[in-house]
Amino acid sequence: MKHLLSIDDLSVDAIAEIFETAADMHDVQRREVKKLPALRGRTVINMFFEDSTRTRSSFEIAGKWLSADVINISAKGSSASKGESLRDTVLTVCAMGVDGLVIRHPASGAAHQVSQWVDAVVVNAGDGMHEHPTQALLDAYTLQRRLGSLEGRHVVLVGDLTHSRVFRSNVLCLTKLGARVTVVAPPTLMPSGIGPWSAAAGFETSYDLDAVLPDADAVMMLRVQRERMSGGYFPTAREYTVGYGLTRDRLATLKPDAPICHPGPMNRGLEIAADAADAAQSVVLEQVSSGLAVRMSVLYHLLAGEES
Amino acid sequence: MADPRIVLDSGDVARALTRISHEILERNKGADDLVLLGLHTRGVPLARRIGERIASVEGTAVAVGELDVTMYRDDLRTQPTRRSHKTEIPPGGIDGKVVVLVDDVLFSGRTIRAALDALADLGRPSAVRLAVLVDRGHRELPIRADHVGKNLPSARSERVSVRLAEVDDLDEVTIA
């Protein structure tokens, strides 16, 4: 594995290996000295052309705890805002001798495109509406720690599926690990043409959250992207909550040990009620610490060994 | 290459570990403040066995843990990515303790160099010692073992294999 662009790049064995190392990295977080020398002398650049708090800081800490030199570039305040093309920005940065490039970009396929231009290892940290592979890995890792093997377990994803890269990567990852996946969305936010994909990949779709929820072994709430609210996908926020929010009433129908995931940032009161976000079965903060362990593992696997 | 020759059979391994256990106790004047840390992979069961022997002699349990040095190796960049393992430090930590590192074969000394670096990130032992089942020579660093099961003169090209029941279903050291 040279880059991490899509969950499709990973075999089941490769995912298992990433999770094993992540478990070892998890232990490092509890130490007083949270630093390993594995990536000493390596340079990793985080290029974020979209706003991000947790993913960017998570990648930054992951790289630093492995002793890599980490530099952050965001679109605001970089030459990109002066009109430089993505290719020129990336080639400029790589001319400085960069080993790893973590990239988030609003255009689907950006990370893949960048990987064609440079020698550096490229990690996709979210490309448009396409994929967000490390998010899916950390979600599956978190669920595995809670549920044991995901084989045959029923995971329900709810929310704005049309615009969600988290959903796409998660479905690929969870089905690969043998989970039974149901995705739930209002008809207007169900991606058009999902039928053939769900049939081929073996997951189910539903418009009825109340029917699906009681059977779920885990539920993953996706963020309603407020910037899409004006798109006419649903009449009002209130209406969305009534149909598809994880409200207090719905929380009562969920199995008491079923983990509740949310990739963040949460819109409390919209897709997830405070009661659910702060419930004992919520793993939202665990996802954050798992994310760090998984990203350390990914950077280690991509950057520590001999150059391929 | 010649067929593997057995240099230690299971009885020899057992006797060597018993002797090492007694040496450790003698050197440490008892089992107080002792922490045995096995290095992955086969140092871990060896450390446990030494721990059991010390416990049966002294009548008190001794702290046994495991140490993974993968991230501290100096050859990470020249090999395909290595798998990492679990590091487990006993609840009392290693600060002020006498840490005995336990490994199966001492060869170049580079694994031990990595282990010393790893220890420095975990705490400050009062002393660090090294126990190995086999010392085959060819050191590349100024490192020596305090307790050795068997000194095994070998050619650099020869292959020394340690098998342990916990991992390989039998106890045996061979050279080929």
φ/ψ (deg, to 5) at A25? -70, -30
DSSP reduced 3-state for B129: strand
Residues 6 or more apart whose Cβ sits within 8 Å of residue A81: A75
User: How many of the other CB atoms lie within 10 Å of CB of A161?
Assistant: 22
SS in 3 state form for chain A?
CCCECCHHHCCHHHHHHHHHHHHHHHHHCCCCCCCCCCCCCCEEEEEECCCCCHHHHHHHHHHHHCCCEEEEEECCCCHHHHCCCHHHHHHHHHCCCCCEEEEEECCCCHHHHHHHHCCCEEEEEEECCCECHHHHHHHHHHHHHHHCCCCCCEEEEECCCCCCHHHHHHHHHHHHCCCEEEEECCHHHCCCCHHHHHHHHCCEEECCHHHHHHHCCEEEECCCCHHHHHHCCCCCHHHHHHHHCECHHHHHHCCCCCCEECCCCCCECCCECHHHHCCCCECHHHHHHHHHHHHHHHHHHHHCCCCC
Q: What pLDDT score was predicted for residue A273?
A: 96
Annotation marks residue A182 as catalytic? no
Residue B152 lies in a domain: yes
A300 touches chain B (CB under 8 A): yes
Q: Give the class (CATH, top level) of A7-131+288-303.
A: alpha beta
Residue B81 lies in a domain: no
Q: What pLDDT score was predicted for residue A228?
A: 67
CATH number for the domain spanning B168: value is 3.40.50.2020
Q: What pLDDT score was predicted for residue A308?
A: 53
How many A/B residue pairs have CB atoms within 8 Å? Answer: 52
A7-131+288-303 and A133-284 have identical folds: yes
Residue B86 lies in a domain: no
Residue pLDDT, tens place only, B95-148: 999 999 999 999 999 999 999 999 999 999 999 999 999 999 999 999 999 999
Which is the catalytic residue, given A53, A76, A82, A236? Answer: A82
Which chain A residues are closer than 8 Å to B69 by Cβ? Answer: none
Give contacts of A 211-270 with B, CB under 8 A.
none
Q: Block means of pLDDT (10 residues each) for chain A, length 308 residues? A: 94 96 92 91 94 93 97 81 87 93 96 96 96 98 97 96 94 97 95 93 96 97 81 85 96 97 94 96 96 97 84
B121 touches chain A (CB under 8 A): yes
> How many residues are there in chain A?
308
Q: What pLDDT score was predicted for residue B164?
A: 96
What is the distance between the alpha carbons of residues A271 and A285, in angstroms, rounded to a whole number?
Answer: 17
Q: Domains of chain A: which residue ranges?
A: 7-131+288-303, 133-284
Tokens found for residue A235:
């009449």
Residue pLDDT, tens place only, B4-44: 999 999 999 999 999 999 999 999 999 999 999 999 999 99
Residue B23 lies in a domain: yes
Average pLDDT for residues B60-83, to the nearest whole number?
93
CATH number of the structural domain A133-284: 3.40.50.1370
Which chain A residues are closer than 8 Å to B121 by Cβ? Answer: 31, 33, 35-36
Q: Tell me the whole-structure pTM to 2 decimals.
A: 0.92
What is the distance between the alpha carbons of residues B56 and A5, in angstroms, rounded to a whole number?
Answer: 55
A38 touches chain B (CB under 8 A): yes
Residue B85 lies in a domain: no
Give contacts of A 56-85 with B, CB under 8 A.
66
Q: How many domains does chain B have?
A: 1
Strand-pair category, B5-8 with B172-175: antiparallel
Domain that holds residue B42: 5-73+91-175
Residue B130 lies in a domain: yes
Half-sphere exposure of A45 (CA within 13 A, CB side): 22
Annotation marks residue A154 as catalytic? no
